[in-house]
Each structure stands twice: as structure tokens, then as C-alpha cells.
Chains A and B, each alone.
Chain A
Amino acid sequence: MLPVMGGRSQRVGPPAPQVVETEVDGDVCLYDPTSERVAVLNATASDVWRLADGTFTISEISELLASSYGTQPTSIAPDVEAVVSEFIEAGFLAQE
């Protein structure tokens, strides 16, 4: 896993323009036609993806999800950072 440049204050997203997004029973499925990569996201990763529109930082996403899940932002932030790193590595998020 690559460290996220800019750490938790980096804004996440928006999605790369070529990425196709479909929901299957609440889980987000992503397809990148340039790399032909497919990813099926679990419920938490799907929630992170839905917030990855370029508006929020990793810290802000962690706070929003922690509030929704009834947990502490500090306990969820490492997982959010990890999944954002995977999105970047897979090319699903637009590069600055």
C-alpha cells in the first residue's frame, strides 16, 4: 500500500473520468476500461467511495463515517486511508 500524498488532509477524488460505477445490492462495483480492472467494494469501502468526490479530506471522511457508524474518527481513519490508497493505486481516482 502506498502512503497517501498529503496525508489525511488531502482531498479525496473526484473519480477518474473513465471509471464506470454500478451498485449491486448496495455494494459499489467499479470498472476502469483503460486498465480493464474491476473492483467490488464492501459496504465500508462503498461508503468511502461515495464521499470521494473531491470535496472531503480523509480526516473529514473519517469523521462523517465515524458519526454514521457510532465510533471514533481515530479508530476508522487508518482504514479510510488504506482504502483511499487502494483507489489511487488502482487508478480509480483522478490524478492531480
Chain B
Amino acid sequence: MKIQQRASCGYDLGDIQMTVDERHRILGTDYRVRSDDRALGARVRDLFASFEKTRNAARAANTIQIAAFPDGTHRLLRDCYRVTVQGPAVQLLPALVSTINRTAVEESPELAIHAGVVTIGDYTIAFPSASGNGKTTLTAACLLSGFSYISDEALVLDDSGSVIPYPKPLALSKWSCETLGIAAEGEETLVTAADLGAVVAQGANQVTDVVVAEFGHPGEELVPLPKSETVPVLLGLAFNHFKDPARAFRIATDVASSTRVWNLKYSHPLRAALYLRDRLGPGVASSLAV
């Protein structure tokens, strides 16, 4: 067979030397980040340090490149096609994290549910919520208040209902940074658990508490909910339940059966985090069994 013409990419990277080549396995999928900017490479290493490094080749669709072009712009390319264009390379990091996150949860072979997840002692607390309801800010507030980090994005559960950590960098809005007292770097500020003085939880955990959080109330209040209310919440917020709906139903009902379920009304993320630590943390949790 003769190849008449080589298939062309959307952008020709030409002779650009990619000095950065970071490869990580994230929720079972291999990702590769390439760049010609060493400072950016160091930041990428830092942001994805919690994920297993791999030497495997990533699929083209999971290879992301940030490169300087002759016109002075940096471009973020995925599968050789432009995702976004901006000025300094570091400003492309939120788009890089967002691109990896979107595909990682969708491609995960495990059930992934939109939720923030933190641990304290033997307790693992999930905040299921859609985007824009303060889940990341509340997760970050918990990390500033002594909790360990599992994810600000997805509660990932294996077949037995054990939690698989997905400690992606947290993307904080300007409002979140202001509320938490963190210096903002732009529209979105990426931070790691370590940046917030927290550690990433290791090993398999079972969810002990599901907290349906509502921001905008005059104070902090935690009210128990029927366990069965968790089932539609978890399934309604799942990213990939359509891959195996029967399995998703089984895992969601298993989790609902074995957890405590709460409605949290709160006025401020940091106050809510401290309130949760005092109400659900080790030492007092046994007296709150419902």
C-alpha cells in the first residue's frame, strides 16, 4: 500500500521543540501534556503531582500541547486542533485542566458523580451538586479547615462503592478567592490541596455522609434527610451512568443505604466547613447517628 498524502493536523507545529513532556494516568486514562515553556512545565508537574505518572503513550485525543507561535501567542492544542488561544502560557492552565477534567470523568470506567469530596478522620463526606452552586468553594474551605482532599469535581465509585480519589487542581473563581482569602491570579485560580495546607487522602474510603448543601442562608444548620433521597440526587448528577445504568443504580442505592444524608444550609463557606468539622468529624459523629 502506498501512502499518497500524509494526513494533516489542524495546526502545523513545525520545528517547535517540546521540552516539557508530562504523562499521567487519570481515572484510568493516560494523558500527555507537552509544551515548549519550562516554567509552565514545572507548574503542570505541580498541579498533577497527585496523579500516577506513566510512561505510556497517550491517545492523540488525550495529548494536550501548549506552544508559542511566531505571532507571540500561546495556543492550547488537543489532538492537534486549537482549543483556545491566549497570551502568556500560564493563562492557558485553567483551560488545560478543564480539558483534561472533562474527558477524564466522561471516559472513566467507574461511576463518576458531580460532587466535592473530602475526608476527616474515618469520615468521607460528599457534596453532590451541579456546577455553579459553590461546591468547589466549600471543598476548598474544608481543606483550609483540616479536611483531606479527594476531589472538587467527582465522587468516583468502584463496583464495591469504594471512593477512588480524583484530586484534580481546584479552579477557584475570583469570588471564591476573595471569600476564602486567597490571592486571585485572574478569572480562575488553580490551587492544589497542598497550596491550601491540606493533604490528598490515600487509599479506598467508603462515603459516610452525603451533604446536600445550600448557600445563602443566615446561618449554619444541618438537618438529616431520608437516605432514599440520595438515590435520585446521585444518579441525576452522574457523568457517565449511561454506560451501565443498572450498575449505576446498584452502586447509588448501595451508597444511599450505607451513608448518613444531610441538608446543610450555610451562610459562609469557611463557617460551614468548621461547622461540618465539629458536627460530623471524629469524636461527635457517633452521637449523631440517624
- Residues of A at the B interface (CB closer than 8 Å) are 20, 22-27, 29, 31, 33, 36, 38, 40-41
Contacts and interface: CB of A to CB of B under 8 A. Distances in A.
B207 interface: no
11 contacts: A20-B250, A22-B249, A22-B253, A23-B257, A24-B227, A25-B228, A27-B227, A29-B253, A29-B256, A38-B235, A38-B249
Nearest to B290: A25
Interface string B205-232: 0000000000000000000001111111
A22 B250 CA distance: 8
B246 A27 contact: no
B245 interface: yes
A31 B249 contact: yes
A33 B246 contact: yes
A26 B256 CA distance: 12
B229 A40 contact: yes
A89 to B, nearest CB: 18
Given A24-B253, A24-B256, A29 B228 contact: yes
A25 to B, nearest CB: 4
Contacts of A29: 228, 231, 249, 253, 256
B246 A40 contact: no
Given A24-B228, A38-B231, A38-B235, A31 B246 contact: yes
